[in-house]
Chain A
Amino acid sequence: MVRGMAFDTSRRQVVKGFACLGIGATLPLCCGGTWIQAVAAESFTLTEIVDGVHVFTGANELMNEANHGAICNLGIVIGDDAVAVIDSGGSIVEAGAFLAAIRGITDKPIRYLVNTHMHPDHIFGNAVFRDAGATLIGHRNLPRALAARGEFYLRSYRNQIGATLMKGVEIIAPTMLITDRQELDLGGRKIELRAWKPAHTDNDLTVFDPATQTLFAGDLVFLEHLPTLDGSLLGWLGQMDELAAIKAAHVVPGHGTAPASWPQALQPQRHYFEALARDLRKAIEDGTPLAEAVGTAASSARSDWQLFDEYNERNATAAYAELEWE
C-alpha cells in the first residue's frame, strides 16, 4: 500500500484541525465527564510528509497559554487497518485539535498512542487518545518516571500555562511497555519501536516506519531548539552512533524542522554536547564550582540555537553533576 519510499514534497497534503474550530467554538471532548471549551486562536496543521505519515510541527517556544502547549512535533502513521499516534501534545486543547485533524484524514481506529518520553509537551494530551480507545505505549521506565514527577508537573504547569489550559490534563501511564524492540502491526504496515538507554531522559522511545524510512526520534533529536538534558549527557553522546546507524532517510525530531535529512540531523546537537562536555570537564578539573561553571559552559554555541538562554544553564547543571563522576 505504501508507494513512495522517498520524501516527496509534491505529494504533501495538509489537513488543518484547529482551523475547523472558530474562536469560541466548542470542541466535544469527553474528559472525566466534562465538556471542554476549546478556544483555538491558531491552526493545527497536519502535513503528510510521505505516504501515510502525517506530522504536526510545534513552535520553538516554552509552553504557554497562547500556544496551547503545542511546542513539540507530533505525528501519525496510517496502516490498512489502524492508526498509530506518536505523542499526544501539551494540553487537552492541542490533543483535541490533533484528534480532529486525524479524523479529517481517516476514519480508521486509533489503535496506539506511543509516548516517546515523559515530558509534559508530549504527554499532557494522553487522556484524549485514551478516551478515543488507543492503547498507550511507552518505555519500560516511563511509569516510574511519571510516578516521581507527575504531581510536580501538574503543579508547575498550572503556574506556567494556567489552570484553563490545564483543564482535563491527567498523568496517564502507558499499559504496554517496551524494554528493547517491538513491532506494531497497523495492517499491511509494521512500525518498529525501540527503547533507548538513558539519554534525553531515562525513558526515550523511537518509532521507525521501514516502509517510508521515516524515523520519529522523539527528543533524542533536536533541531534549532536547544536540546534539553534530563537524563544522561554521556548516555546521549554514547548512543549517537547507534542512532546514526538507523537506516532512515529522514527524521521527525522532537523539536524543530520536520522532516530533516538523516543522519545529518544529529550533527548540530552532537556539536553542542561536545562543547558542553569539553567546557565542563575543564571546569571540573580546575576545581571551578558548579554554580560558577554553568554560567559560561558551551557559550560558544549560543548563536547556533533558539532558547539557548532558557535551557543552557540547566543542561550545564545536570551535565556538571554527571561529569564530576568520570
Chain B
Amino acid sequence: MKAVRQDRRPMAGTASKMAAALALAACICAMPSLAYSQAANAPSEKIWNELKTDVFEDRTIQSDTGLIRIEAPKRAQDAALVPVDIFIDPAKFPGGIKSLTLIVDVNPSPVAATFQFGENSGVTHLSTRLRVDDYSYLRAIAETANGELHMAQTYVKASGGCSAPAVKNQDEANRTMGQMKLRQFAEQDSQTGKGRELQLMIRHPNNSGLQKDPLTQYFIPPHFIHKLSVSQDDRPILSMEGGISISEDPNFRFDYTPDGNGEIRVEAVDTDGKVFRDQWPLEAAGL
C-alpha cells in the first residue's frame, strides 16, 4: 500500500471558473430544499418528485427492476459519514452501465455524485460514504448502454443530535489535503463471482459548503473534489463528477476487471482547481 505523490499542477484558471459556476448552481438548488427542511418531517418523496425532472427531464425512470440495489444503514450513525453500497447485477446488464447518479433528496444540493464506467470495466459494486443532512431517501439511478434509467432507493433516518455533517478535524484536513492511498484486494473465491477490488482514499475536507453560518448569515463556500478519474494505464475504469455530498476524505471501494499488468492511475480535481495525481503498480496478489 504505497502512497506515491507526484506532479500536482494547479490549474487555477479554468477550474476556478468552474468552481464559481458550481457554487452559483449550488446556491440556486440550495434554496428549495432549505425551505423544505423547515418542516421537520417534510417527505423526501416530495422533494424528489420536483427534483427528478430537473435532473432527468421527462425520461422514464424504472424502479425495483432488480438491476440495481442500494444499501445503507437504516439510521445514520454519523451524519458526516454514512456508508452506502450500490450493487449492479451483471447478468441483467449485459452491456454494462454507462453511468450511476447518487442522490440524497434533502441535502442542500441533492445530486451527490455521478459516476461513469469504462467499457468492460467490470464494476458491479461501488461503495462510498455520504453526508446526509436529514431524514432522506438515498437513490441510485443507473443508465444502461441503451439509455434506460433504473432506480433503487433506501431510506436513511438522520443521525440527529450533535453529529453534524461537518469536518471533524479541520486543521488536519487542510494539512493533509491531496494525499492518496490505494488498497488492492485480491479476487474472492469464484463462488461469489467477485472480481478484484480497489479502495481509493483521498485526503480532502470535501466541504459541501452551503451551510449558513449562523454567526454571519453568509454561506460557507464549498470546497470539494468534483472530478475524479481512475484508470488502468489509459483505460478508464471509473470517473466521477459532482461529489458535493461525498464525505470528508473521499473513499471509494469497487470491484473491477483488470486488463494486463498496467498501473492504476488516479487524477482528482477540487473546486479550487487543485489537481491531485497518483499511481500505483498493479499488485500481483492483493490482500
Which stretch of B93-101, B141-149, B159-167, B238-246 is in the interface?
A: B159-167
Is residue A147 within 8 Å, beta carbon to beta carbon, of the partner chain? yes
Chain A CB within 8 A of B120 CB? no
Residues on the A chain within 8 Å of B257, using CB: none
Asked if A291 and B85 sit within 8 Å, CB to CB, the answer is yes
Interface hub of A121, A172, A231, A317 (most chain B Cβ within 10 A): A317
Q: How large is the interface on B (under 10, 10 to 19, 20 to 34, 35 or more residues)?
A: 35 or more
Q: Which chain B residues lie closer than 8 Å to A144 at the CB level?
A: 170
How many cross-chain pairs have Cβ atoms below 8 Å apart between A and B?
Answer: 129
User: How many chain A residues touch the partner (CB < 8 A)?
Assistant: 50
CB within 8 Å for A62 and B161 given contacts A148-B166, A287-B287? yes
**Complexed CA–CA distance, A62 and B161 (Å):** 8
Across the interface, do B162 and A120 meet the contact criterion of CB distance under 8 Å? yes
B249 and A321 within 8 A (CB):
yes
**Contact A152 to B172, CB < 8 A, known contacts A314-B159, A318-B78:** no
Q: How far is the CB of B252 from chain A (nearest CB, A)?
A: 12
Contact A147 B213 (CB under 8 A): yes
A321→B129 contact, CB < 8 A: yes
Interchain CA distance A148-B167 in the complex, whole Å = 8
A210 in contact (CB, < 8 A): no
Could you tell me the distance in whole angstroms from the C-beta of A320 to the nearest C-beta in chain B?
8
A325 CA / B183 CA spacing, docked (Å): 11
Q: Does B204 contact A (CB under 8 A)?
A: no
Q: What's the Cα separation between A51 and B248 when bound, in Å?
A: 46
Measured CB to CB, the nearest residue on chain B to A157 is B161
Besides A152-B166, A232-B172, 4 new A-B residue pairs in contact (Cβ under 8 A), listed by A number: A147-B214, A148-B167, A289-B85, A290-B129
A-B contact pairs, 21 of them (CB 8 A): A143-B215, A150-B214, A152-B133, A152-B166, A153-B164, A159-B40, A159-B158, A172-B215, A173-B215, A202-B171, A230-B163, A232-B169, A286-B287, A289-B127, A289-B253, A290-B129, A291-B73, A291-B83, A321-B248, A321-B251, A324-B251
